[in-house]
Structure formats: C-alpha cells, structure tokens
Structure 1
Amino acid sequence: MPGTVAVVLKGYPRLSETFIAQELLGLERRGHRLHLYSLRHPTDAKTHPVHGEIAAPVTYLPEYLHQEPGRVLRAWWRVRRRAAYRAAWRLWWRDLRRDPTRNRVRRWGQALVLAAEMPEAVGAVYVHFLHTPGSVGRYAARLRGRPLAISAHARDIWTIPDWEKAEKLAETRWTVTCTASGAAHLDSLAPGRVTLLHHGLDLTRFPSPEEPPASDRDGTDPAVPVRLLAVGRAVRKKGLDLLLHALAALPEGVHWRLDHIGGGAESRALKALADELGLSDRVTWHGARDQAEVLAMYRTADLFVLPCRIDTDGDRDGLPNVLMEAQSQRLACLSTRLSGIPELIEDGTTGVLVEPEDVPALTAALAALIGDPARRARLGAAGETRVRALFDARAGLDRLAAMVSDLLA
C-alpha cells in the first residue's frame, strides 16, 4: 500500500506558520513519509530552525498558470484520460459556475499539475487550509482516487461560502480544526465530520525561563519604562492599530515602550499611524524575526499584547500560537475574547481579555497591568502552568499521526 502523504500548503516555508512546520516535523518523527506541495513560493527572508529539520521534499506548483503554461498543458495531457477525469472536471465546472473567478481557474490548473506529478507512492492527500489549498487538494484527490483530509484553521473557515465548506467537508475522510468555535461552525455544516485538535506548542523549543528577578517596572519612571511586546503580522485582524490608539490614550505619566515583531501589508500604515499619534519614539518595528530572536524578546518583555479582531471580510485568528509562546515564557498576556483565545486564556486568572474593538477597555487594561508588576507576575506564572499542562503539542501530534495512519490504511 502506498505510504507517502501529499501535503498541500498555501505557501512554504512561512515564518507565521510555525504550527504547520511543528506538525510536519512531528508527523515525520512518528514515522510518516511526506511530500510537500506548495501553491506559492516563500516570501520571508528568514526561516525557523524547525524548517531545516523537516526532511520532506517540496514541490512548488505553478503560482500563476501563465508562468508555466507548458507544465500545465503537459499535466492536462497526462491526466485527461484517467477514469476519474470527467467527474473531477464536472466538480470543478460546478464550482466555477458558482465562483466564476480567475482564482478558481488557477486552482484547477494547479490540481492538474499536482495530480500529474504526484508519485504512485502517494497514498493520501492532506491539506492545510480549507479555502484555496482545499480546492487544489480536493480536485487532485478526485483525479488520482486518493483519500482526502483537511486541517482547517482561521481565515479559511470564515471567508469562504458555506456551500463550499459543506461540500469539501463531505468529501474528506476526516477534518481537524484548532478551536472550539471553528469546530462548532464547521460541525453545523457537516455534523459529525470535524474533530477539535489544538495545535499546542513544542515546549522543547520554549523551555521554561530560568527564574528571573520579578520586574518591578510600573511605568512611573521614564528611565525604566514598562516593556510591551506584540508579535504578529501587520494585518488588520491583529488589531495593532487599536493597540496604538489605546497606547495614545494612556495618561502622560505612564511610561512604556512597545516592540513589534512581524512583517505584513500594513507595516507602512501602522508606522504612519504611530507617527500621527506621536508615538514613534516609543515604538520599535523589528520586522520578521526567527524563533530564537522572538524567544529572546519574550524573555525581556513585561507584558504581551495582541488585541485580535474580526476583519471586514470575516477573517479572524483562531488561537494565535504567539500567545502560547509568550505564556510559556511566564509573560503576562492581554488579548481579546475572540475565537479560541478564551480556550487558552482564562480572564483574570492566566491573563486578561477585553472585547474586540473596545479601545477604552484596552486602554484601561493596559494602564492597570503596566502599573501592577505583581499582578503581571501572577498572571504570567499561572499562564505558563496552564500552557505546559494543557497545550503540549505531543498529545495532539500522537493523535494526528494515528489519524494519518488510518487515512493511509
């Protein structure tokens, strides 16, 4: 029986998707052979150490069909006589009629290439993200007669139509997702077909920090400001503009500095907003950084802040890994009651949560936490205990590896 799993990804490697890299390595270490197929080439200048440990080969599908027309044509020629071709083409054509976009055409072309180039040793197709990678994986699995499984996360759950989600879920052998809210939504569309499986954190990469002296910074001394940290792509759903407005509303006598780590489309706009609000000399924009650099920043910060929100198109975070990472380093966290975040952070016990988009509440929470180092220390300690007890990735990886074995059986 073929034993290799074709893993379809939107882009690889990506600094913002350490949870995927962690999973790939975990599956390899549990005996699975993988072949990665990426719809896009990497755009990050750096990678994390985990990417260098993954042995699976990577094949890049045509990012745009006009860039490799010969490859697409050869793929079509090879698969057009397969017994499943007509049924797969009719499936795609039905989707195209409901979604008449270039994107839908591109997914068919990528699926043709994937189906044509997939080795016989591939016994199953496993897709990360329900939206565009899910389409490519679904069409290719149909063309090659292979079982399909999908891991759904955040944007892919909330920004595609219900008909598409329901039909994809109906075709999978199984689907996993990483938050209870996402699982409930998908289960309403395809009852009994979705499994909740938290990613968790590879705690060997985030060892408990050596016992540091408790920070007594409370924002009263301009020479030793409280150090705030935000890690996340500069995109609207992260709420970084809300954070800047909240910081601008703090009383003048509260002294702080903010470090931001992450690239993203809104970086320039956020820097302009910081300048407009008079905060530029108190905010440092570090851009994308690798895991070791981020870990060092966690260990020197006083408070981690990520005021996630729902974007105008419905996009939102699931359970940001950076919150688990920060808590693993005994760092107090301030975030919002959104998606899977309350599954990790118990408000007032292991961190502080406010409502999304509520800038006054965010300002009040910032002021309270900046001025109370003892409370930050208690929240940080409780957060670390909870993460290490309940969000260790190993249990989830053991379960996923067993599901992949069943997929290949």
Structure 2
Amino acid sequence: MATGTFPSYGADYVTQQKKIAVILKGYPRLSETFIAQELLGLERAGFELTLISMRHPTDRKRHPVHDEIRAPVHYLPEYLYQEPLRVVRGLVRSSRLPGFRAAWRAFLKDLRRDLTPNRIRRFGQAAVLCAEWPEGADWLHAHFIHTPASVARYASLMNGTPWTCSAHAKDIWTSPDWELEGKLSDTRWTVTCNQTGFDRLRGLANGKNHVHLSYHGLDLDRFGPFAGAHSLRDGSDPEDPVTILSVGRAVDKKGYDILLQALALLPAGVCWRFVHIGGGPNLEALKALADRLALAGRITWHGALDQHDCLEAYRRSDLFALACRITADGDRDGLPNVLVEASSQKLACVSTDISGIPELLKDGENGFVVPPEDPKALAGAIERLIRDPALRTRLGEAAERRVRAEFDHHVGIRQLTALFENEWQVA
C-alpha cells in the first residue's frame, strides 16, 4: 500500500550492508511504538543499527519491543550548556572535517530565518555527533523531518555521510516551507506514513521524485486476532455500563477536551464509563475539566501503560474514541497507531476526518469519522455505538479485516529495505 515507485531488490543482487546511524528525538518512548517496531524490523531484515538519541528517556516504562532491539544507544547533549566541554571538544574536532565550512554556511543561513536557541542546539549536537562518530556507521537516517533531520543534515554536510529521513505528522506540518525544501533537496529520499503528508512533501520537493508513501502499519504478531467477543452491552444497565476506551498522550492535538465535552452531551439515561491510557502535559487540566463537566465519577485515568496492557484494554472495551484535531500552530496526527491497534482487535472506532485517519476508517463501513472540533457530532456517533452492539460488531470486524489485509508492518519494512539496499547494491 504505497504511492511512488519503490526500487526492487532480491536474489539478483549481492548487497553490501552498511551500518545505519538512526537519529531520534528521544529513545525509548512509549508513544512511539511505530518507530521501535520499525527499528526491530530493520534489524531482523539484516541491517546493523546504532541509535542516536537527542534526548534521554522520560517514560518510566518500556514496551517489550524496546528490549528486543539490539542496537546500542548513543545520547547527544540534550542542552549544550549542560555539557560544555563535550560540546567544545565536538566543535573543535568537527571543524577539521572537510565539510564543516559548508555546514557552517548552511547553519548561518538557517539561523537568519530561525534565530532561536533550538537552532544553535541542533548544530552543536551535529558537531558532537561527528566528533563521536559511531565506528563503522556510513549512513544516516532521521526519524522526523524537524529537529532530528536538522542534526542529520548538518552532520551529513560536515562529514559527507549520506542521509535519509522518515517524516510523520507534527514534523511535517509545523516546519516552514523553506526548511522542508532545504532538507528535501539534500536527503537521498524521504518516506512518510500518510497521504496528506506525502502530498505536502512531494509538493515541496521541487520536482525530485524521491518522496515515498509507506504506512508504518502494525506488528500483527504482537496484535494477534482477538479470539473472544466484545460485549453486547447497550448502555441500558447502570450496573454494567459500556466501556469507551481512548489511548493517547494528553496533548492538544489529541482533542481530549472535545471528547470530554462529547461525553457530557450523552443522554442521561445512557450508561457508560470512559477509560483513558496515556500520560502527557494536559492530563491534570483534563481531569479538572472532567470535574467541571460532572464526569469524574465515570472516568478511569490509567496513565502510561505498556503495549501488553494496552492490548488487554482493547479486548476488554466496547468502543474506541479519539478526537484528533489540527492545533493553532498546525500540529496534527498523521495516522495514529492506536486506531490501527484498536481496529486489529475488532474494536469499533470513532475519530475525526483529518490527516491519514480516513485512509484507515471509512465512515459507516469500518468505523465512524466525524468533523474535528465538533462535540455534538462526536457524541452522536458515540451514542449510536453505545446503543447498538450489533453495529459495533459489524464495524469492528470490518476494521480488523482492513488492518490485517493492508496495514501489516512487514510491508513497510520491505519497502524501506528496498530503498536502503537500492543505495548500496552491487551487481
């Protein structure tokens, strides 16, 4: 399931594998299972990886997939002032590289347009990376086209290592056109995981046919078929309410304030409870909003949980809701992996028609899709699903069929393998 032409590969070629340094904003992260899944898939495909993280982890838990990844992790200085000697040493050593002047000129050009500490930090991190270069690494790949790609681009200019990029959601929509154009002109290729992001990047690539659409999909071995059945609750029994589940970080783009407002609009006679899984900076504000809406007694806030616990929650619940939105600064989801996960467990989903969500959910066919920022429409869809367990079953089964047919992550791994191997195959 992809747009664009992917190179072929196979037994006709003898490949000389290269070691890939993968630049990540932070590692490990509970909210980025799709990245960890991809890293493990590339290792299993035979690639040797070194992970370069721009931040130390903040999550107290890890997913099982993180423990299966063998690649070593190298942490850059998160803030330059915290490790001044390391940064100075990095600048001195990288200044001897043949491409340092070109990187410095590119940095100054960017700095004139983006006079921020963040811009300076990325150049310093690139210098440290080049000075502490992982032994044997001869390729750079950045996950996200905003700050990780900035480090990758400056480092590539300094030491001549070619680089590629995976773009996802916020990074595409909150980066200015001039910055995306510059990075797209330098990267060997870029992949993205949703059609709207692909269209934006392809439009900024100035005619280069090197942007590809590749859904990251789901590891269906971890999310095997649900052998049981979801309940036939219909919201009529206060002793056995319908369970509405949502999994996601409490951040603006997830629209949890809209979801809470929608729950408050449900008729008084409808019996439900809401379960939320995820951390995030807005969590306390959402709990306060739930109090004001007189919903607190019907809500369970679990905080961040690992993948195994999320899987169990999908199977215990009756429907899944996520009110994604576009924020004032343009931030938005691409295709939230939690919708794919929930669908894989025959869980009927309701979400909004932004970004890649309609690429998974077809309204009335395998889920409900409503406009963003519309609590009334969202409440109407949720109420329909609460009252009609047969409808939930039909939509959930259709969603599972779609995921298992078209969102298997092995397809994406094969596409990435082809792109990487095409760069260094020898006849």
User: Considering the TM-score relative to the shorter chain, is it more than 0.5?
Assistant: yes
Distance 2:337 2:134 in 1: 33
User: For 1:18, which of 28, 33, 37 is the aligned residue?
Assistant: 33
Q: Deviations over 1:223-269 (max 9, x none)?
A: 11000000000001101110100010111001100000000000000
User: For 2:53, which of 34, 38, 53 is the aligned residue?
Assistant: 38
> Corresponding residue for 1:107?
122
Asked whether the equivalents of residues 349 and 396 of structure 2 are also in contact (C-alpha less than 8 Å), the reply is yes
> Corresponding residue for 1:210?
227
Matches within 5 A, 1:1-400: 3-190=18-205, 191=207, 192-212=209-229, 214-400=230-416
Number of aligned residue pairs: give it: 408
Quickly say closer, same or farther: Cα 1:383–1:83, change in 2 above 3 A.
Answer: same
Distance 1:370 1:211 in 2: 19
- For 1:319, the aligned partner's letter is L
Alpha-carbon shift at residue 402 of structure 1 (Å): 1.9
Asked whether the equivalents of residues 2 and 122 of structure 1 are also in contact (C-alpha less than 8 Å), the reply is no
Alpha-carbon shift at residue 154 of structure 1 (Å): 0.3
Asked whether the equivalents of residues 170 and 193 of structure 1 are also in contact (C-alpha less than 8 Å), the reply is no
After TM superposition, where is structure 1 displaced by more than 6 Å over at least 4 residues in a row? none
Q: Deviations over 1:30-51 (max 9, x none)?
A: 0000000000000000000000
Give ranges in structure 2 of 5+ residues lacking alignment: 1-15
> Corresponding residue for 2:6?
none
SS at match of 2:30: coil
Alpha-carbon shift at residue 119 of structure 1 (Å): 3.0
Quickly say closer, same or farther: Cα 1:125–1:408, change in 2 above 3 A.
Answer: farther
Q: Give TM-score scaled by structure 2 length.
A: 0.94
The CA RMSD measured in Å over matched residues stands at 1.0
Asked whether the equivalents of residues 34 and 337 of structure 2 are also in contact (C-alpha less than 8 Å), the reply is yes
What fraction of aligned residue pairs are identical, expressed as a percent?
Answer: 60
Asked whether the equivalents of residues 14 and 44 of structure 1 are also in contact (C-alpha less than 8 Å), the reply is yes
Q: Deviations over 1:197-231 (max 9, x none)?
A: 0000000000001132x522111111110000000
Higher relative contact order (CA 8 A, sep 6+): 2
Asked whether the equivalents of residues 20 and 140 of structure 2 are also in contact (C-alpha less than 8 Å), the reply is yes
Distance 1:48 1:173 in 2: 31
Q: Give TM-score scaled by structure 1 length.
A: 0.98
> Corresponding residue for 2:9?
none
SS at match of 2:112: helix
Distance 1:172 1:375 in 2: 46
- For 2:123, the aligned partner's letter is W
Asked whether the equivalents of residues 235 and 266 of structure 1 are also in contact (C-alpha less than 8 Å), the reply is yes
